[in-house]
Amino acid sequence: MTKKTILSFVLALACLPSPSRAALKVVTTTQDLAALAKEVGGEFVEAEPIAKGYQDPHFVEAKPSYLLKLRRADLFIQVGLELETGWVPSLLSNARNPRILPGNPGFLDASEGCDILEKPKGPVDRSLGDVHPLGNPHYWLDPSNGLVIAQRIAGRLEQLDPGHAEAYKANAARFEAALAAREKAWDEEAKGLKGLKVITYHNSWPNFARRFGLDVVDFVELRPGIPASPAHLRSLTAHIRSQKVPVILIEPYFDDKLPRKVASETGARLVIAPPSVGAEPAIVDYFGLFDRILELLVAAAPAGTQ
């Protein structure tokens, strides 16, 4: 091969387009966090959840396939507040990926900076049920917290991938504007829900209830994570009748047998509402989650409140 041929070959290589950087691999504990990562990451991230929206995120089986996902991850995002304490620590410790361990840039606890409700003021023990000592972990059900989460994810993506920092900033700004517009629409839709008394199965809804004005007056569970006793069910039925509570709200992964029995005996409407993105096939993003919950509640609310 002559020098001229070699030079021509080198010049041809130089003219070829450089390969684009592989998308950042983001693994999240829940589908809500993956949806928010996609909003701000756009084309530059591949976001994949471990728990699906129709699963109870408190209880997830730590499968070996999850270890492979975590081993390849650039960023791991968890809900935190001990929501995933039963399965995340073992996955992280066995994934052999120091980048995503707590304290490193590849680890993000989404709860930091969010408005966390129901932080216990006294000691917490098992007699109280599955009470979270750091506060209620279902904070993503307030859109204001969703914005905080999205902004923090965008900031971490900028740190891990500075070459696309401007794109992440622009995506976060676009998400903020879209969320503000949707919140105005949700507030208009939810006007008739102000003060609506509801019973919930598990204590999953305080952030949503405060944001949209619902009044959670009792729970189907005796205590968080502890099934209802016959005495509690009698008390709950009496409470619903005396307070004229019109709605019982439960998540799709709970057994609806007892709530249906209570509803049939009291005349309350049973609403099986999605607590997460992906809980129903049509809920593919964070906006769709609130669209659907409000749709169900408005339909179930007594006619005089709409």
68-98 pLDDT tens trace: 999 999 999 999 999 999 999 999 999 999 9
Output the pLDDT for position 121.
81
pLDDT classification of 130: cutoffs 50, 70, 90: low
Say which CATH architecture domain 191-305 belongs to. Answer: 3-Layer(aba) Sandwich (3.40)
Helix (H) or strand (E) holding 269: strand 269-272
Question: DSSP readout, 28-59?
Answer: ESSHHHHHHHHHHHGGGEEEEESS-TTS-TTS
Lowest mean pLDDT among 5-19, 129-143, 175-189, 228-242: 5-19
pTM for the model stands at 0.89
d(CA 218, CA 203): 9
d(CA 56, CA 43): 29
Question: Mean pLDDT, the chain, as a whole number?
Answer: 90
Residue 220: exposure state from Cβ atoms within 10 A (0-12, 13-18, ≥19): buried
Output the pLDDT for position 5.
38
pLDDT classification of 123: cutoffs 50, 70, 90: low
Average confidence (pLDDT) over 120-132 = 64
pLDDT at 208 over 50: yes
pLDDT at 191 over 90: yes
Higher pLDDT, 39 or 5: 39
Average confidence (pLDDT) over 217-223 = 92
CB 32 within 8 A of CB 286: yes
d(CA 214, CA 167): 38
pLDDT at 304 over 70: no
pLDDT classification of 120: cutoffs 50, 70, 90: confident
pLDDT at 7 over 80: no
pLDDT at 6 over 50: no
pLDDT at 12 over 60: no
Helix (H) or strand (E) holding 236: helix 230-243
Output the pLDDT for position 226.
85
24-185 has CATH 3.40.50.1980 classification: yes
Q: What share of the chain is helix, strand, coil (3-state, %, to 5)?
A: 50, 10, 40
pLDDT classification of 126: cutoffs 50, 70, 90: low
Output the pLDDT for position 224.
81
Output the pLDDT for position 85.
93
Output the pLDDT for position 303.
73
Percent of the chain scored above 70 by pLDDT? 89
> Among positive and negative, which fits the CA dihedral 284, 130, 219, 262?
positive
Higher pLDDT, 3 or 67: 67
Q: Tokens 């070829």 — which residue? A: 16
Average confidence (pLDDT) over 170-190 = 98
Q: How far is CA 114 from CA 152, 227, 259, 287, in A?
A: 10, 30, 31, 18
Average confidence (pLDDT) over 94-106 = 97
Output the pLDDT for position 27.
98
Q: Tokens 């917490």 — which residue? A: 124
Three-state helix/strand/coil letters over 132-194: CCCCCCCHHHCHHHHHHHHHHHHHHHHHHCHHHHHHHHHHHHHHHHHHHHHHHHHHHHHHHHC
* Contacts of residue 7, Cβ cutoff 8 Å, sequence gap at least 6: none
Tell me whether the CATH fold assigned to 24-185 matches the one assigned to 191-305.
Answer: yes
Widest CA span in the chain: 96
- Smallest CA-to-CA distance from 201 within 245, 243, 131, 258 is with 258
pLDDT at 116 over 50: yes
φ and ψ of 84, to 5 deg:
-105, 20
Tokens of residue 192, six digits: 């008739």
Give the domain ranges of the chain. 24-185, 191-305
Output the pLDDT for position 306.
47
pLDDT at 227 over 70: yes
Give, in degrees to the nearest 5, the angle at Cα 42 between 80 and 32.
Answer: 30
